[in-house]
Chain A
Amino acid sequence: MTDSEIVIVGAGQAGYQLAGALRDAGHRGQLVLIGDEAELPYQRPPLSKAFLSGAIGAEALTFQQPVHFESKGIDLRIGTRAERLDRVGRRLILADGSDIGYDKLVLATGAANRVLPGSEGIDGVHSIRTIADARAIRERLERSRNAVVIGGGFLGLEFAAVAREWGLAVSIVEAGPRLMGRAISQPMAEAFRAHHVALGSQLFLQAKVRRLIAEAGEISAVELEDEILLPADLVVVGIGVEPHVALARDAGIDCDNGIVVDDRLATSDPSIFALGDCAVFPSRFALQPSRLESIQNAMDQARHLAAVLTGKPAAYDAVPWFWSDQGGAKLQIAGLAQGTDREVLRGDVSGMKFSVFCYRGDRLVAVESANRPADHMAARRLLTAGLSPTPEQAADPGFDLKSLFAAAQPAA
């Protein structure tokens, strides 16, 4: 098994990490890593943060230079698009008509940002996923005065904070009743709403975009459904993503809002695996099989799949965690707040140093922390161990969450 030929489609965080982890785990066979972007593999999280703020250049995002991939025996092919899958012949057909044989194929195809209908072809309307996207926005930031953010999720809010740093007037338009939608609890969403108002952004909740107004092909304003007209010379759209499933779906592999995998990350074809943003996987932390878009998910699934593919199969069981950095406020989330019925606050809410402990019945299922890294780290461990403080313990700032680990240790 360690000598088989493995082909990874997608050279984002998950694909890149998997290739390295396979070599570290002793895989000796051929290893091909295919990416459709022109760039060497790079990390995306800083694109909406440090890169846009001007703190770093694109070179700081590149994971490794070509010589590294050569030295590890990783056949990296960037600027290469996979077109079709021949599962019977175990061949991946590329856009240029050539093909690559495989013993095991891994789909790390990621996701694409949803496009706002009516925004196609208007200069100044952007989204953030690739270096090319972020470069275009950064160039535009330098000569813009009015930014409109459509979608009050992590990406849009990170951009809004950076645009305020650049001195732009910023309007945030969110269709739902609160920021960051169902991803976080109401108290945390409210704290971040106040934070963005304090940063100087104007917020429009439960607001829908009627149309984008362009002059000579350039964005000039965003019109909302209640007639409000927001002047704009830069619009950033962050309204969610669609997973890249075409390659799998067209080959008859099970897909359902993502490529469906089991707890070994295998698809309905046992020779084909999927991980990262594109994969829907079962998890004890979720009510139903879920697709997660996060660094944690990409990293942990890459390490896990490297073990599976080198003969050490186990069930994937990592606790999900997320983070966002918005104008000096650090949001860390452990677990998934699905079906929660009770929220308990811990810490200093008005001082923006607090956590929300989210329960489903008696069970702790997620903890959101604003500038409280110790709560976050304790939460990751509690959730991994399946331990739940009582709501009274969680709310008591004098209660040491770590004491629960000691209590759970079997007597030596």
Chain B
Amino acid sequence: MKITVDMDKCIGAGLCVVAAPQVFAQNDDDGLVIVLNENPPADQHEAVREAARLCPALVIHLQDDND
């Protein structure tokens, strides 16, 4: 799984951090998303998918490996 984010559209809602705290954080200054691990391990995939679904600005994009 590969994570990309659209920083221009991020609004700092912070829902991704609640859903997947091991993968997402918020910048202290502007609240915008920080991806801690662009290639999260398999045990984080479900949490990351939930984060992407919950994001009200839909800025988290996921690319699944075909393995």
Contacts and interface: CB of A to CB of B under 8 A. Distances in A.
Given A56-B58, A63-B54, A373 B13 contact: no
Nearest to B7: A373
B53 A373 contact: no
Nearest to A68: B50
A60 B61 CA distance: 11
B58 A373 contact: no
A152 to B, nearest CB: 21
How many of chain B's residues touch chain A, expressed as a range?
Answer: 10 to 19
Contacts of B21: none
Q: Which of B11, B12, B31, B57 counts the most chain A CB atoms within 10 A?
A: B11
A174 interface: no
B30 interface: yes
Contacts of B58: 46, 50, 56, 60
A365 B5 CA distance: 32
A377 B30 CA distance: 5
A64 interface: yes
A264 interface: no
Contact of A377 (B8, B9, B12, B15): B12
Contact of B29 (A46, A50, A62, A374): A374
A299 interface: yes
Given A56-B58, A63-B54, A377-B31, A295 B13 contact: yes
Contacts of B13: 295-296, 299
A43 B57 CA distance: 10
A328 B9 CA distance: 8
A330 interface: yes
Interface in B23-67: 29-32, 53-54, 56-58
A67 to B, nearest CB: 12
Interface string A142-178: 0000000000000000000000000000000000000
Interface in A243-298: 295-296
B11 A323 contact: yes
Contacts of B56: 43, 45-46, 295
A296 B11 CA distance: 11
Contact of B12 (A62, A299, A325, A373): A373
A325 B53 contact: no
Nearest to A296: B13
Contacts of B12: 332, 373, 376-377
Given A50-B58, A63-B54, A332 B29 contact: no
A100 B11 CA distance: 39
Contacts of A323: 11, 57
A377 B57 contact: no
Q: Which of B8, B29, B32 counts the most chain A CB atoms within 10 A?
A: B29
B29 A325 contact: no
A374 B30 contact: yes
A302 B49 CA distance: 21
A299 B12 CA distance: 14
B52 to A, nearest CB: 9
Given A296-B13, A325-B9, A332-B11, A376 B57 contact: no
Contact of A45 (B30, B32, B53, B57): B57
B54 A377 contact: no
10 contacts: A62-B53, A63-B53, A323-B57, A330-B8, A330-B11, A373-B10, A373-B30, A376-B12, A376-B30, A377-B12
